[in-house]
Amino acid sequence: MTDALLTLSGVHTHIGPYHILQGVDLIVPQGGVTVLLGRNGAGKTTTLRTIMGLWKASQGDVRFEDHVITRLDTPEISRRGIAFVPEDMGIFTDLTVAENMLLAAANGPIDEKRLAWIKELFPPIGTFWNSSAGTLSGGQKQMLAVARAIIEPRRLILIDEPTKGLAPAIINAMTDALRELKNTDTTILLVEQNFTMASSIGDTVAVMDDGRIIHAGAMQELVDDADLQEKLMGLSLEAHQ
Amino acid sequence: MSDTTIKPRIEKIPLSEQFFQKLPVLLVPILAVAGLLAIGNPASWLTLTVAGLAMGMMIFIMASGLTVVFGLMDVINFGHGAFVAVGAFVGFTVLAWLAGWTASPSVMLNLTAVLIAILAAMLVTGLLGYAFERVIVMPVYGEHLKQILVTMGGLIVAQQMIYVVWGPDELHISRPEAFKGSLVIGEAAIEKYRLVAVGIGLALFLGMRHILKSTKVGLLVRAGVENGEMVEALGYRIRLLFLIVFMTGSALAGLGGVMWGLYQETITAHMGSEIMVLVFIVVIIGGLGSVEGCFIGAMLVGLLANYTAFLAPKVALISTIALMVAILMWRPQGLYPVVKAK
């Protein structure tokens, strides 16, 4: 888990007149879960969207598997094996669960074995297969969003706050699913505000503030150091518990 | 993840809510029955109803492309009328070349001539749509005010080009022999051409519905209407989809132009911009981006225009606007609003 799968070097992103990312340097190692932490407005979502090509970096490089992908368009980045689960989940509510999954299998028909695994991972996907995605609950929509991202084997999944607004039972279930996903070849870059959840599955961590990475290292190091947590995030893990 | 931790549930939609959702479909038969009660004479009612459905179908043909273009691409295309006019003039030219076939008593030759005219019009307007999207629309994606200005400009240029190629005078299109005259059913006289228009419009609606509901391209269009960014993030080139949809919408406008030209039997360079008022009303009534809403809206407009023209000709002038106002007061986003995540 030492090779870098994704590297951001001095990435700047502007949205209209706003200078959001101000030189992000980030290394996402191959395998495991890298957690991106930071207060609201620190630039976490912008970082994911810049990697995905949805917002273009104005300066700096995004390198994925030794290829610079900074200037590629979003479909090309997706086809290189990066999936994206946005904060609003991006579910097509007018389509059924089955149609959502069918569209996500962009490279051909759905692999039945993989689908069976996903239905085991997220039981509501099977239960509501032919239901309109718009009628699912918030937690079920989040499961569909993650399920859609893994319907085909991916090298990297970018997940933006998957536990936001969910009930504790659903958060636990989502954490279990991500933990199982961790055991596959897939690498996860997770943006999360819930430090308790993030620390339970994260292997490495990067903390952002004001559009820059202000800390990067092993998750365990941050978990073990309450002073560092306080310094970086203003609140320690102990305070969460 | 185990079943014990999460109990799958789905919100049940109450019956009253389900009825409310389906209600727009019932508006067309409700209006038809109201028309029968108001007109009183079944023969006149049948004639007016077929005329209204035919008019509605032709408006639907012209409006369907516009609504999908708006829903998927978020483009307000005021130049759509250009494709209607160009389609009509291309159809006129082809039918003039095939005058021997259209004057023949053979139904097969008549149909073949019209089919060739329609295909030629759709091909030309489809290609024109390609150029229009690349040159005029593409630079102004996401900028509604500029879209209105440049597409209006495109419409004016297209109208001037029609003057250059076909001249400034209105032209007369003669319907093929098989489409002339009326069928008499009881005391009702139904124009043959109107039945043809109803058949073509219905076939187009069912075909579009099948494509949108049952094919991957249709899924992509429906998904793209709701959240184009996510479609891209799944690996699909939505700009290519935009282009295909725009060309298809333009070709459908061309088809509508031929149909409308044969219906009116005269064509002018301004016919597209004139019919666009009704087309926009239909698109707004249906809900921006909704093909089904567009279809129902077109039927309502066609029927109401014909009923009121018979019952109260002065009211007919404002009937479609009044219908739009009533629908928008009931459903401010139209009959079938398409959810858009922005």
H or E, element range at B172: strand B171-172
What is the distance in angstroms between the Cα of A3 and the nearest Cα belonging to chain B?
25
Helix (H) or strand (E) holding B232: helix B216-233
Regarding beta strands A212-218 and A57-64, do their DSSP bridges make them parallel or antiparallel, or are they unpaired? unpaired
> CB contact, 8 Å: A81 with chain B?
no
Q: Which of B5, B339, B341 sits opposite A169 (nearest CB)?
A: B5
The answer for A216, left when phi > 0, alpha when psi is -120 to 50, beta otherwise, is beta
**Residue B342 pLDDT > 50:** no
Q: Which of B2, B11, B235 is nearest residue A75 as measured by Cβ atoms?
A: B235
- A127 contact B CB<8A: yes
SS3 content of chain B, % helix, strand, coil (to 5): 75, 5, 20
Contact B232 A84 (CB under 8 A): no
pLDDT band at B16 (very low <50, low <70, confident <90, very high): confident
Q: Angle between the B271-286 and B313-330 helix axes, to the nearest 10 degrees?
A: 40
pLDDT value of position B316: 82
**CB within 8 Å: B6 and A73:** no
> pLDDT tens across B126-155, in order?
999 999 999 999 899 888 899 999 999 999
Torsion (CA) A139, A145, A150, A154 in degrees, nearest 10: -130
Among A102, A134, A173, whose Cβ lies nearest the Cβ of B219?
A: A102
Query: B223 in helix, strand or coil?
Result: helix
Please give the order of strands across the beta sheet that includes A187-191: A82-85, A156-160, A187-191, A33-38, A204-209, A212-218
Note whether A70 and A60 are within 8 A (CB).
Answer: yes
Which residues 255-284 of B have a C-beta within 8 angstroms of A? none
Q: Cα–Cα distances in Å, from A1 out to A31, A33, A37, B62, B267?
A: 6, 10, 20, 58, 71
Does the structure show a pLDDT above 60 at B5?
Answer: no
pLDDT (0 to 100) of residue B3:
42
Q: Which chain B residues touch A177 with a CB distance below 8 Å?
A: 1
Closest approach of A6 to chain B, Cα-based (Å): 17
Q: Is the pLDDT of residue B14 over 80?
A: no
Chain B positions touching A135 (Cβ under 8 A) are 10-11, 13
A106 contacts in chain B (CB < 8 Å): 234-236
Q: In chain A, what are the domain boundaries?
A: 1-81+155-241, 86-153
Over the stretch B260-294, which tens digit does the pLDDT of each residue have?
999 999 999 999 999 999 999 999 999 988 899 99
Residues of B whose CB is below 8 A from A52? 233
Sheet holding A18-29, edge to edge: A18-29, A4-15, A57-64, A67-68
DSSP B34-71: HHHHHH--HHHHHHHHHHHHHHHHHHHHHHHHHHHHHH
Fold held by B43-330: ABC transporter involved in vitamin B12 uptake, BtuC (1.10.3470)
Report ipTM for this prediction: 0.90
> How far is B231 from chain A, CA to nearest CA, in Å?
8
Residue A235: predicted pLDDT: 57
- Identify the burial level of B147 via C-beta atoms within 10 angstroms of its C-beta, where 0-12 means exposed, 13-18 middle and 19 or more buried: buried
Mean pLDDT by groups of 10 residues along chain A of 241 residues: 85 93 95 91 94 96 94 95 94 93 90 93 92 90 94 94 85 88 90 88 92 92 84 60 48
Which range of B61-75, B119-133, B237-251 scores highest in mean pLDDT? It is B119-133
Partners of B237 on chain A (C-beta within 8 Å) are 73, 75
Phi-psi map region of A165: left, alpha, beta (phi>0 left; psi -120 to 50 alpha): left
Confidence of residue B187 (pLDDT cuts 50, 70, 90): confident
Q: How far B217 CA sits from the closest chain A CA (Å)?
A: 10
Distance in angstroms (rounded) separating the CA atoms of residues B121 and B255: 6
Contacts from A196-199 at CB under 8 Å and sequence distance 24+? A196/A237, A196/A240, A196/A241, A197/A163, A197/A171, A198/A35, A198/A37, A199/A35, A199/A223, A199/A237
Interface of B with A in 42-71 (CB under 8 A): none
Q: Are B129 and B83 in contact (CB under 8 A)?
A: yes
Give me the mean pLDDT over the B148-168 stretch: 94
B14 interfaces chain A, CB cutoff of 8 Å: no
Mean pLDDT, all residues of chain B: 90
How far does the CA of residue B223 sit from the closest CA of chain A (Å)? 6
Q: How confident is the model at residue B339 (pLDDT cuts 50, 70, 90)?
A: low
CATH classification for the domain delimited by A1-81+155-241, as one of 3.40.718.10, 3.40.50.300, 3.30.70.980, 3.40.640.10: 3.40.50.300
pLDDT bracket for residue B2 (50, 70, 90): very low
C-alpha Rg value of chain B to the nearest Å:
21
The answer to whether residues A79 and B235 touch, using CB atoms and an 8 Å cutoff, is yes
Residues of A in contact with B338 (CB under 8 A): 94
Q: Which candidate from A54, A75, A127 shows the least CB-CB separation from B236?
A: A75
Q: Which residues contact B132 (CB under 8 A, 6 or more apart)?
A: B79, B82, B154, B246, B250
Q: Which residue of B has its CA nearest to A173?
A: B1
Residue A18's pLDDT is what?
A: 92
Asked if B218 reaches chain A (Cβ–Cβ under 8 Å), the answer is: no
Q: Which of B1, B338, B341 sits opposite A88 (nearest CB)?
A: B341
Q: How many CB pairs under 8 A join A and B?
A: 100
A92/B223 Cβ within 8 A:
yes
Contacts of A104 in chain B (CB under 8 A): 234
> What CA–CA distance (Å, rounded) separates A200 from A177?
12
User: What's chain A look like in SS3?
Assistant: CCCEEEEEEEEEEEECCEEEEEEEEEEEECCCEEEEEECCCCCHHHHHHHHCCCCCEEEEEEEECCEECCCCCHHHHHHCCEEEECCCCCCCCCCEHHHHHHHHCCCCCCCHHHHHHHHHHCHHHHHCCCCEHHHCCHHHHHHHHHHHHCCCCCCEEEEECCCCCCCHHHHHHHHHHHHHHHCCCCEEEEECCCHHHHHHHCCEEEEEECCEEEEEEEHHHHHHCHHHHHHHHCCCHHHHC
How far is C-alpha B286 from the geometric centre of its chain's CA atoms?
A: 11
Q: Is A54 on the interface with B (CB under 8 A)?
A: yes
Å from B340 to nearest chain A CA? 10
Question: What is the Cα–Cα distance from B315 to B180, expressed in whole angstroms?
Answer: 30
CA-nearest residue to B337 within chain A is A94
- Report yes or no: B342 at the A interface, CB cutoff 8 Å: no
**B124: three-class secondary structure by DSSP:** helix
Half-sphere exposure of residue A182: CA atoms within 13 angstroms, side-chain side: 20
Smallest Cα distance from B221 to chain A, Å: 11
Asked if A54 and B236 come within 8 Å (Cβ–Cβ), the reply is no
Using pLDDT thresholds of 50, 70 and 90, give the confidence band for residue B6. very low
Contact A137 B11 (CB under 8 A): yes
Nearest to B236 among A106, A136, A173 (CB): A106
